Structures are given as C-alpha cells and as structure tokens.
Amino acid sequence: MSQSIIQWFRFGSPQAFYPLAGRMIPWFWAAAAVFGFAGLWISFFVAPTDAQQGEGYRIIFVHVPASWMSMFIYLVMAFWAGLGLALNTRVSGMMAQSLAPTGALMAALSLWTGALWGKPMWGAWWVWDARLTSELILFFLYLGFMALQAAIDDPRRADKAGAILALVGVVNIPIIYFSVKWWNTLHQGSTINMNKAPSMAQTMLWGMLLMALCFWMYSIAVALTRVRAIILERERHTDWVKHAVE
Amino acid sequence: MQWNSVGEFFAMGGYAFYVWGSFGACLLLMVAEPFLARRRLNEVRKSLIRERLADELELQQKSQ
C-alpha cells in the first residue's frame, strides 16, 4: 500500500484525530460566518420579491439548506458507520455518533420551516404527502439511531448496532429525494435540477447556495467539536488522554 | 433593495410571522447546539484534569 494511504489511516486513531480536529474547527467556523453573512445579505437585501409568493418565499433560504443538510449528513453518517463496521476503525463510529444530533437538528429545522412555509402558501401546516412524510421518517431515523446507541453500554457494540440501523435507513434518502417525482405531491418539484437550467432568479439561487455552504461548514464545525468530546469520553482510561488535556 | 423603511423590512410583506419564525428557529438552534457541544467538551476536559490532579496528589502522599 502506498505511503499516502497509510497516512490517512493514521487519522483513524483517536489520538491523532483529536488534535487535528481541534486545529480544523476555527477554520470551519470562519467559513460558516463568511458564507452566512453573504448568504443572509443576498437573502434579505439582494434577492427580489417573488412574483407569486411575495416576501414569504424567503423561507427558502433556510428551508432548502436545512433539508439538503439533513439528507447529506445522513449519508455521511451512514458512510462512517459502514466504514467502522467494515474496517473497525475507531474514529469512524465516533464520527457517526457525533453527526447524528446535527442531522436531527437539520431535519427538525427542515420540518419546522416547511410548516411555516406551508401554512401561508398551501393553507396547511402539515399534510401527509410523500415528501413531508419521508422527511419526518428521516427525523425519526436520527432519533432512533441516537436512542439505540444510548441504550447500549459498550460503545463498540453500540457502534455496530447503530451502523446497521444507519445503513438500512439509507434507503429513505432516495425516497425523499425523488418523492416529488414518483408521487403526486403538494410539495413543489426540486428548484435545482441537474438536467435543466434552474427555474429561479440568479440572485435567489446564489443566496440559497451560499446559505447551504454556511449550513455545511456549520455542521462540520459542530460535529468536530462533539467528536472531540466523544473521543475524550471514550478514551478517558488511556494514557494519551491524560496528557492531551491541560 | 426593495425595502423603503426598517418597519417594512420587519413586516416582510405580511409574512413576518412565517419568515421570522423560520429564521429565528434556525438562529436559536444553531446557537444552542455549538454551545452544548462546547460545554460537553469542557466538562469532560475538566473531569480529566481533576482526575489527573487526584492522581498526582496520591503519588505525592505515597512518596512522603
């Protein structure tokens, strides 16, 4: 195996990853602040009023990023969980555990902002349609993952059980993503499509992308902070941890 | 910019409750979560430091 791949495996050890994560966190916070400032500026002061939805459409600037992140974080979480299951690398399971609360938060925000958008536009806070229901299931998958891990005392066994749940739950992600195509739903189709030009004003699109980048950087920063806590909690009996804190 | 006054900005064309309810919830949760994560890290750090001090104290007493 080449030297560079072995280098990457080094960070699979908590001892090597703990200080690395600590050095990375400020940079992700800085990026989140820059993207967030630019995104909010465009969201409120540059993007024009929507012809149909007036100012109410501005919810899109937090609703879409939160929804994207709720799905993306799940994929990343399942990836780490699967990697931990396959290679038995210790940090992988900790990363999966660290991502779950942030993913749950994004799913909750997606549902909350969706309800606040649905009420004035559709006349209902909630409808049992495919997109909304599958997103609600995603929220429950996060909660289930967290509850399952919390219920098992041995962290390595908790990782394994959680990994199975996370991997089985992955099937829900394409269901959410394609739900607006597969079923007749009240939810509008995707705003951004790989095959055709986006069906919205350029400035609206930029605002949404910048806010999504902000949410992304935020998620990495907070997940890295939490994984550092998890590393110390799980490795507290080891010698290196005793010298890592001062 | 489409706002003629600060009041107009906060009114959000009649959608104030929905728009600010959405952005407010995001702000609230995205401030609370890093705070809680940070507190969790600080707490485990503190308890590790206490543990080490206790170990050192024990060692000192033994050597005396």
User: In this complex, do B15 and A56 lie within 8 Å of one another by their Cβ atoms?
Assistant: yes
The answer to whether residue A24 scores a pLDDT higher than 60 is yes
pLDDT score at A186: 75
In angstroms, the CA A197 to CA A191 distance is 10
| Residue A140, both tokens | 């429950």
**DSSP states of A144-201 as a string?**
HHHHHHHH-SSHHHHHHHHHHHHHHHTTHHHHHHHHHHHS--SSPPPSS-SSS--SS-
For residue A83, give the nearest of A145, A138, A12 by alpha carbon. Answer: A12
Query: How far B61 CA lies from chain A's nearest CA (Å)?
Result: 20
Phi, then psi, of A50 in degrees rounded to 5: -75, 140
| Residue A42, both tokens | 């465009």
Q: What is the number of alpha carbons within 13 Å of residue A110 lying toward its C-beta?
A: 27
Residues of chain B with Cβ-Cβ distance to A208 below 8 Å are none
Distances (CA, A) of A192 to A146, A205, A206: 32, 9, 12
How many Å separate Cα A138 from the centre of its chain? 11
User: In this complex, do B18 and A63 lie within 8 Å of one another by their Cβ atoms?
Assistant: no
The answer to whether residue A195 scores a pLDDT higher than 60 is no
pLDDT tens column, A91-123: 999 999 999 999 999 999 999 999 999 999 988
User: In this predicted structure, which of A64-68, A126-130, A135-139 has the lowest mean pLDDT?
Assistant: A126-130
**Residues in chain B, pLDDT under 70:** 1
Phi-psi label, residue A174: left if phi above 0, alpha if psi -120 to 50, beta otherwise: alpha
Residues of chain B with Cβ-Cβ distance to A221 below 8 Å are 34
Count chain A–chain B contacts defined by CB atoms under 8 A: 93
DSSP single-letter state for residue A42: I
Mean pLDDT of A179-197: 69
Q: For tokens 């309800």, what's the residue?
A: A115
Residues of chain A with Cβ-Cβ distance to B17 below 8 Å are 116
The answer to whether residue A1 scores a pLDDT higher than 70 is no
In angstroms, the CA A211 to CA B57 distance is 51
Q: What ipTM was assigned to the predicted interfaces of this complex?
A: 0.91
pLDDT score at A69: 97
Q: Is A124 on the interface with B (CB under 8 A)?
A: no
Domain ranges in chain A? 68-189+207-238
In angstroms, the CA A96 to CA A39 distance is 28
pLDDT score at B64: 76
| Residue A169, both tokens | 């739950």
Percent of residues, chain A, with pLDDT higher than 70? 91
User: In this complex, do B44 and A226 lie within 8 Å of one another by their Cβ atoms?
Assistant: no
Mean pLDDT of A22-45: 96
pLDDT score at A183: 80
The answer to whether residue A194 scores a pLDDT higher than 60 is no
pLDDT score at A97: 96
For residue A127, give the nearest of A112, A140, A115, A141 by alpha carbon. Answer: A115
Mean pLDDT of A203-222: 95
Query: How far A214 CA lies from chain B's nearest CA (Å)?
Result: 11
Domain ranges in chain B? 18-63
Whether A28 contacts A34, CB under 8 Å = no
The answer to whether residue A142 scores a pLDDT higher than 80 is yes
pLDDT tens column, A57-99: 999 999 999 999 999 999 999 999 999 999 988 899 999 999 9
The answer to whether residue A217 scores a pLDDT higher than 90 is yes
Mean pLDDT of A48-61: 90
Percent of residues, chain A, with pLDDT higher than 90? 70
